[in-house]
Amino acid sequence: MSTKPSVLFVCVHNAGRSQMAAGWLRHLAGGTVEVRSAGSAPAETVNPAAVQAMREVGIDITDQTPKLLEYATAESSDVIVTMGCGDTCPVFPGKRYEDWQLEDPAGKGVEAVRRVRDQIRERVEKLLSELNLSEGRHERSPAS
């Protein structure tokens, strides 16, 4: 079992917000956090405006593919960050949940997506600092 904390970003289509958040966390954490993303109704491809906006800050998310939110993925994640998936996000006792209210970039131009990208970076930096503060306390205890 990995001793790294795992963070799951969830939005409806797993094509914009959750992909940008995962890209930021992979970039900023430098391999210290297991990064996952998924959607309750995944799109075919990642939003091209999200890809462009992330490329502008030196982060390549072109190799990412929207994935369906799986029960086991959520259950095995330490932190679950939701972004507008509502009741379709599974809830597990003892998990840390955050709900990030962010504009949905679907169908919007890169200018709007840049604003969302920058808001996500601020939140990911805060989350990462909180994970680092609890270093050593993120290991899961055995099920009783």
The pair of structure tokens assigned to 1 is: 């079992």
Query: Could you give the residue numbers annotated as active site?
Result: 11, 85, 89
The DSSP annotation for 118-140 comes to HHHHHHHHHHHHHHHHTTTS-SP
Instruction: Quickly list H helices, the chain.
Output: 17-29, 48-55, 71-75, 110-133
Contacting residues for 143 by C-beta, under 8 A, at least 6 apart:
none
Give whole-number Cα distances, 9 to 75, 96, 125, 142, 144, in Å: 13, 12, 14, 24, 27
